[in-house]
Amino acid sequence: MSTHDLYTIPAELSTWDVEAAGAARFTWEYDDGRDRMLALYQKGKDKQWDSVKRIDWDLEVDPYNVLGIPDNTIAIHGTPLWDRMDEKQRQDVRLHGAAWQFSQFLHGEQGAMICSARIVESVPDLDSKFYAATQTMDEARHAETYARFLQEKVGLAYPINEHLKALLDSTLSDSRWDMPYLGMQVLIEGLALAAFGVMRDITTKPLPKQILAYVMQDEARHVAFGRMALRDYYAQLSESELREREDFVIEGCYLMRDRLRGRETWETIGLNKAEVAEAMEAVDNSEYLRLFRSLLFSRIVPCVKDIGLWSPRLQQAYADMGVLDMAGQSLDALMRQDEEIAEKVDAERFAAEEAERHAEVAETIALGAE
């Protein structure tokens, strides 16, 4: 089945052409490289995995309760609009909410694949080209994984959200080589990591937990790559050049925040104009979503500070968004945690499979004895 058959809203075009600007840069220095960057590159090679083999695709998923979490996480839960709905409408809310969320993950991963390929092309130093090449493969695997999850387990998809599309457009169309790092590695990847982390930690379903944990294990390295490269480069920039990057970050953060509202889901499930307005008011006032949005900046804010974009003007923008306190988060600690959780998911899964094999052997021996 074509993915276009799954889209609730027709995609505008079968392909989206972005006019990318900038130079493809070659370097003839093959021996010089930063030890930390080369170590990250080695880790990127060592940690490659196959989604067909590592993920247990035989696990069942209820498309009307993909994550297995309570309804009080839904923005309109407990409102008059929710109370007026019958069970079929509530099922549609659950299904479309999950389909929309994982669809944006999928489109973001394709964007990350293209941006990391762009970094390979445009970044001037070879050690960064090496690592970005491993990231391009990671992002291809992530897109493959989310596409299969939507196709086989959810059965519904949404086109790319206009706010995510706008940020990708501005990231790819900028001729400066550092902008794919800033737009993708810091903003889009940082937000995705935080979203994945919240969902990984609250889901009670094993298949989405596996997918989210394994993808996060890769994404944590990608954000570390962006931090390392930009910290070195931004230390050399003038005040006006840094201000241009800060403008991009501020605009991008507002786009990412607005992306989370998901207006198109409420329009698609058949609500009338007044009900859509009622739903959006509930989204804006939801205490759960307010906390969720705040947590989504737990990776972006400390990363922006770490790379040297931390003027009073940028701090004020984060204060206005209510996320300035996230600057105190330790990115290294979060990265270690992502690694440990993925390894724990692996250990639990393979221990269960081993126990199942032992039980089958014991049963076979017992049957033979009889």
What tens-digit pLDDT sequence spans the chain (370 residues)? Answer: 678 778 887 777 677 888 777 788 888 887 777 888 888 889 989 999 999 999 999 999 999 999 999 998 899 999 999 999 999 999 999 999 999 999 999 999 999 999 999 999 999 889 989 999 999 999 999 999 999 999 999 999 999 998 889 889 988 888 898 998 899 888 988 888 888 998 999 999 999 999 999 999 998 888 888 888 899 899 999 999 999 999 999 998 888 777 777 889 999 998 999 999 999 999 888 888 888 877 878 889 999 999 999 999 999 999 998 889 999 988 889 888 998 999 999 998 877 666 566 556 556 566 666 6
C-alpha gyration radius of the chain: 22
From the number of C-beta atoms within 10 Å of its C-beta (0-12, 13-18, 19+), residue 360 rates as exposed
How many Å separate Cα 262 from the centre of its chain?
16
Distance between CA atoms of 41 and 335, rounded to whole angstroms? 16
3-12+35-334 is classed CATH 1.10.620.20: yes
Burial, 67: exposed, middle or buried (Cβ in 10 Å; 0-12, 13-18, 19+)?
buried
Spell out the domain ranges in the chain.
3-12+35-334
Conformation bin of residue 159: beta by default, left when phi > 0, alpha when psi is -120 to 50: beta
Tokens of residue 198, six digits: 């919240």
What does the pLDDT read at residue 19?
A: 78
Cβ atoms 65, 94 nearer than 8 A = yes
Report the predicted TM-score, pTM, of the whole model to 2 decimal places. 0.88
